[in-house]
Amino acid sequence: MSASKAKVNQADIPVAQQHKFKWTDVLVQVGLVLWAIICLFPVYWMFTFSLKSNEEIFGANVMGLPQNWLWQNYTRALNVGHMGQYFLNSLIVTVVSIIFVLLAAIMATYAMTRLQWKGRKRMNSFFMLGLTIPIHAAIVPLYTTLSRVGMLNTYWALIIPYSAFSLSMGILISIGFMGDIPYDLDEAAFLDGCGVWGIFLRVIAPLMLPAVSTVGIYTFLQCWNELMFATVFISKEAYKTLPVGIQGLSGQYTTEWGPIGAALAMATLPTLLVYIFLSKQIQESFIAGAVKG
Amino acid sequence: MADMKVKQPKGVKLDHISKIYKDPKTGKDFYAVHDVALDIAPGSFVTLLGPSGCGKTTTLRMIAGFESPDEGEIYLGGEPINALTPNKRDTAMVFQSYALFPHYNVFDNVAYGLKLRKVPKNEIRDRVEKILGLVELSGMEQRMTNQLSGGQQQRVALARALVVEPGVLLFDEPLSNLDAKLRVQMRTEIRRIQQALGITAVYVTHDQSEAMAISDQIILMKQGVIAQMGSPMEIYYKPNSEFVADFIGECNFLHGKVSENAEKGAIVSLPAGKVAVRTEKKRNPGEACEIVLRPEAITIGDEGMLPCRVELSCFMGSYQNYHVRVGEELVKITDNCPLNKKIFQTGEQAYISFDPECAHLL
Ligand SMILES: Nc1ncnc2c1ncn2[C@@H]1O[C@H](COP(=O)(O)OP(=O)(O)O)[C@@H](O)[C@H]1O
Ligand SMILES: [Mg+2]
């Protein structure tokens, strides 16, 4: 079987290579290279300016590599600028939110697409309504609620809204992935004596791993750079996340841009790594996200 | 192979069952399965056959317990089972998509049902090995299912259903994902294993040749009702309607009138002439009727029962394929072993003949 398949594939290759040389292709390639440079330049610029002094940043050497590689910018950002603390806070808030979204999204999707109960369609529409709520409209009601229950200036003040705002999209993505799992699998497991939970835990959940990475990345991108909620709900230094922390730095160090660049570089690194190593899943989550527009 | 028989097979009785669905377009209720009554003997191989949408799957799923009948009762081994959930029924199912768990290897897929039933570990190992031997997959225990060919996946699916030793084994179009050659090979295999285990099997297919090849009994369905049931030979030679005759194999119909009752049959008058046909039922003279004739039951020659004109003559290797015009009607003939026979060419006049025993009157 596999031998004959391989043969067919090899027969296909020359056809693909017969691709004719076209000038339009060259133009497209050149355009793409230019676009890549435009996109990558800010990253390059950020990393170089994180290693420069103010004189170099504002002086003649704006674009070039640093003349003096000031690695102490990074130690200053960590020690004086509390970047370590902010980074940890961001990590806690983001990771816990991702876990919440994954659990809730996959379980809700299972319940709404695989189990038969009255109102499951309406429940689904209810969750999808979440896609239409603008984050800004929620700030004031969220603030009053959080302050009433005494959750302002805790991790929960961010984890709960972050999870809630990513959940709708998480469910939307999960529905797509779960739809690809044949219903026969549930029935086969049911015949063998699996209950609702057994089917979920032994069959559905393991097969939802691709959705886990896509939903996880989507949630990560939503939470890691979030500024609005983080500024409003957190004022204590101990709970500030990276975006808020970095914003604070520019007040303290107006004359020292190097450490701010270093802080930005550190904050951007996880996102960059995600983009480099998980670009396929990112595309998937963007395509799913395109529905949201 | 007698030692493979592990358990008494069970019979299935469908006591006038019906299933009503809502048509998603019109919103109206309709019978997907209507008043189906049949008795499946323990250890027999029964096939539900019919065109797509005739209610085969629905019937099978009611036996499995995934759907519950709106009318009637289902009995398994003499016990009514309508109230039992699928896992409480003594059935197993081979799904069209195989429904193998992609995150388990072959052994774990087959062992899954036994594990859930809390069978001791060494017994699981013995039983899985025995069944994998039966489906000729020994040595593949550690393979993941996506490393298997379609035919092998099919065997794993079969092994998984067999290993729990069900009273009745259900199949829903299990071969439709395989290529034609493998399909023929696997259906023989399924029949061999079913006979080796002496298990009761209910098999759904829309492929009449598959049904003929493996069944003890064929239940031919049309629009939710049973059109005819019987052994493959009964259905082939004694169809009770044009639908059945046409669905099973190639068929010719000659329209005419009963002219008189004869000894053991009737004389039928056709526009092209009169012929004698065997029938069990007495027919009234003057009644309109149809003669059902299989292409291989007709011979062509320089003389015979009915004159005809050859419209197509085509050498097919094992037979000569003719299309001839008898009166107004087109008749297909397959003339086997044409080597030493006279071959008629297109446009020639000839005569057709048939044995009255091989003709069937509708
Ligand atoms: N869940 C359902 N809801 C509504 N109609 C259905 C459902 N399942 C099957 N049907 C309809 O019932 C009829 C019989 O279906 P089915 O048993 O699957 O046919 P077959 O297996 O013979 O092709 C078809 O008209 C089909 O559209
Ligand atoms: Mg079907």
Place of tokens 């609005």: A228
- The angle subtended at Cα B233 by Cα B303 and Cα B49, nearest 5°, is 120
Looking at the fold, whether B272 and B329 belong to one and the same domain comes out as yes
- My answer on whether B149 and B208 are in the same domain is yes
B360, burial (CB in 10 Å: exposed 0-12, middle 13-18, buried 19+): buried
How does pLDDT run across B347-362, given as a tens digit for each residue? Answer: 888 888 888 888 888 8
CA distance B331 to B337: 19
CB A214 within 8 A of CB A283: no
pLDDT band at B251 (very low <50, low <70, confident <90, very high): confident
Indicate whether B105 belongs to any domain. Answer: yes
Most ligand 1 atoms within 8 A of CB, residue of B28, B31, B57, B58 to mutate: B58
- Spatial distance between the Cα atoms of B296 and B236, rounded to a whole number of angstroms: 12
Q: How many CB atoms lie within 10 A of CB A68?
A: 10
Percent of chain B that is helix, strand, coil (3-state, to 5)? 30, 35, 35
Question: Per CATH, the architecture of A80-290 is what?
Answer: Orthogonal Bundle (1.10)
Task: Decide: B340 in ligand 1 pocket, CB within 6 A.
Answer: no
Q: Are residues B54 and B81 in the same domain?
A: yes
Band the pLDDT of B326: cuts 50, 70, 90: confident
Q: Residue B186 is which amino acid?
A: M
pLDDT band of residue B16 (cuts 50, 70, 90) is very high
Hey, how many other C-beta atoms are within 10 angstroms of the C-beta on B254?
23
Query: What H or E segment, with its residue span, contains residue B271?
Result: none
- DSSP secondary structure of B226-249: EEEEE-HHHHHHS-SSHHHHHHSS
Give percent of chain B above pLDDT 90: 37
Higher pLDDT, A293 or B228: B228
CB-CB contact of B228 with B54 (8 Å): no
Note whether A177 and A211 are within 8 A (CB). Answer: yes
- Same domain flag for B16 and B119: yes
Claim to verify: residue B179 and residue B307 sit in the same structural domain: no
Residue A94: predicted pLDDT:
96
Confidence at residue A7, expressed as pLDDT on a 0 to 100 scale? 43
| Over residues B333-348, mean pLDDT | 85
Other beta carbons less than 10 A from residue B261's beta carbon: 14
Which helix (H) or strand (E) segment holds residue B77: the answer is none
| Among candidate residues B229, B245, B261, the one where a domain is terminated | B245
- Report how far residue B354's alpha carbon sits from residue B305's, in angstroms, rounded to the nearest whole number: 8
- Mapped to the 3 state alphabet, what secondary structure does chain A carry? CHHHHHHHHHHHHHHHHCCCCCHHHHHHHHHHHHHHHHHHHHHHHHHHHCCCCHHHHHCCCCCCCCCCCCCHHHHHHHHCCCHHHHHHHHHHHHHHHHHHHHHHHHHHHHHHHHCCCCCHHHHHHHHHHHHHCCHHHHHHHHHHHHHHCCCCCCCHHHHHHHHHHHHHHHHHHHHHHHHCCCHHHHHHHHHCCCCHHHHHHHHHHHHCHHHHHHHHHHHHHHHHCCCHHHHHHCCCHHHCCHHHHHHHHHHHCCCCHHHHHHHHHHHHHHHHHHHHHCHHHHHHHHHHHHCCC
Ligand 1 pocket, B21 CB below 6 A? yes
> Is residue B226 a contact partner of residue B36, using CB atoms and an 8 Å limit?
yes
- Would you state the structure tokens that stand for residue B230, as one six-digit string? 């019987």
A187, B93: Cβ pair inside 8 Å?
Answer: yes
- DSSP letter for each residue of B183-201: HHHHHHHHHHHHHHHT-EE
Residues in chain A, total: 293
Provide the CA A80 distance to its chain's centre, in angstroms: 28
The whole-number pLDDT of residue A199 equals 92
Tell whether the model's pLDDT for residue B288 goes beyond 90.
no
Q: Is A232 exposed, middle or buried (0-12, 13-18, 19+ CB in 10 A)?
A: middle
Residues B21, B32 contacting (CB under 8 angstroms): yes
Burial of B27 (0-12, 13-18, 19+ CB in 10 A): exposed
CATH of the domain at B295: 2.40.50.140
Calculate how close chain A gets to B305, using CA atoms only, in Å: 52
Domain termination site, one of B245, B275, B300: B245
Residue carrying the six token digits 């730095």: A249
Select from B274, B243, B242 the least CA-distant residue to B257.
Answer: B274
Measured distance CA(B322)–CA(B352) in Å, rounded: 11
Quickly state the pLDDT bin for B238 (edges 50, 70, 90): confident
Q: Beta strand B273-278 with B12-22: parallel, antiparallel or unpaired?
A: unpaired
pLDDT at residue B94 in the model? 92
Same domain, residue pair B213 and B307 = no
| Listed residues B245, B277, B292: the one ending a domain | B245
**B112/A192 touch (CB, cutoff 8 Å), yes or no:** yes
B contact set with A (CB within 8 A): 64, 66, 86-87, 91-93, 95-99, 101-103, 112-113, 116-117, 149-151, 160, 164
Return per-residue pLDDT of chain A as tens, 293 residues: 344 444 444 444 455 555 677 888 899 999 999 999 998 998 898 888 888 887 787 776 777 888 888 888 888 888 888 889 999 999 999 999 999 999 999 999 999 999 988 999 999 999 999 888 888 889 999 999 999 999 999 999 999 999 999 999 999 999 989 998 888 899 999 988 888 999 999 999 999 988 898 899 999 999 998 999 999 999 998 999 999 988 888 765 556 788 888 999 999 999 988 888 888 877 777 776 554 43
- Which residues of chain A are within 8 Å of residue B164 when distances are taken between CB atoms? 192
Domain residue spans of chain A: 2-49, 80-290
Whole-angstrom distance, CA of residue B240 vs CA of residue A60:
98
The identity of residue B324, as a single letter, is: V
On whether the CB atoms of residues B168 and B63 are closer than 8 A, the answer is: yes
Average pLDDT, chain B: 88
Q: What is the average pLDDT across B222-227?
A: 92
pLDDT over 50 at B27, yes or no: yes
* CA-based nearest distance B303→chain A, Å: 53
Q: What is the ipTM of this complex?
A: 0.76
* pLDDT of B205 over the 90 cut: yes
Tell me the DSSP string of B104-142. Answer: SBHHHHHHHHHHHTT--HHHHHHHHHHHHHHTT-TT-TT
Q: Residue A162: which residues within 8 A CB-CB, separation 6 or more?
A: A93, A94, A97, A219, A222, A223, A226, A229
Q: pLDDT at position B2, please?
A: 43
Number of cross-chain residue pairs from A and B with Cβ atoms under 8 Å apart? 51
To the nearest whole Å, the CA of B116 is away from the closest chain A CA by 6
Q: What is the mean pLDDT of residues B92-111?
A: 90
Average pLDDT for B174-202: 89
CB spacing of A187 vs B86 below 8 angstroms: yes
Answer whether A192 sits within 8 Å of B117, measured CB to CB: yes
Residue A19 confidence (pLDDT): 66
The predicted pLDDT at position A293 comes to 36
B58 vs B204: CA distance, rounded Å:
10
Extract the tokens encoding A178. 């779960």
Residues B190 and B280 grouped into a single domain: no
CA atoms within 13 A on the CB side of B145: 21
- Write the residue with the smallest CA distance to atom 11 of ligand 1: B32
Q: Give the span between the Cα atoms of A165 and A221, in whole angstroms.
A: 12
Give the contacts of B233 (CB within 8 A, at least 6 positions apart).
none
The confidence band for B341, taking pLDDT boundaries of 50, 70 and 90, is: confident
Q: Which residues pair with B225 in a beta bridge?
A: B222
According to DSSP, the residues that pair with B133 across neighbouring strands are none
**The total number of structural domains that make up chain B:** 2
Give the mean pLDDT of B120-145.
Answer: 90
Residue A255 is predicted with a pLDDT of 64
Taking residues B190-207, report their average pLDDT. 91
Nearest to A254 by CA among A85, A54, A65, A43: A54
Distance (Å, whole) CA B219 – CA B228: 6
- Domain assignment present for residue B2? The answer is no
CA of A195: which chain B residue's CA is closest? B87
CB-based contact B189:B20 (threshold 8 Å): no
CATH number at residue B59: 3.40.50.300
Q: Tell me, yes or no, whether B221 and B263 share the same domain.
A: no
Residue B1's pLDDT is what? 43
Same domain (yes/no): B146, B45: yes
For B48, which DSSP code? E
- Residue A9 is predicted with a pLDDT of 47
Q: In this model, does residue B255 exceed pLDDT 80?
A: yes
Longest dimension (CA), chain B: 75
Q: How do residues B59-95 score in pLDDT, each as one tens digit?
A: 999 999 999 999 999 999 888 999 988 888 989 999 9
Q: Is the CB of B51 under 6 A from ligand 1?
A: no
Per the structure, the complete domain to which residue B149 belongs is given by 12-245
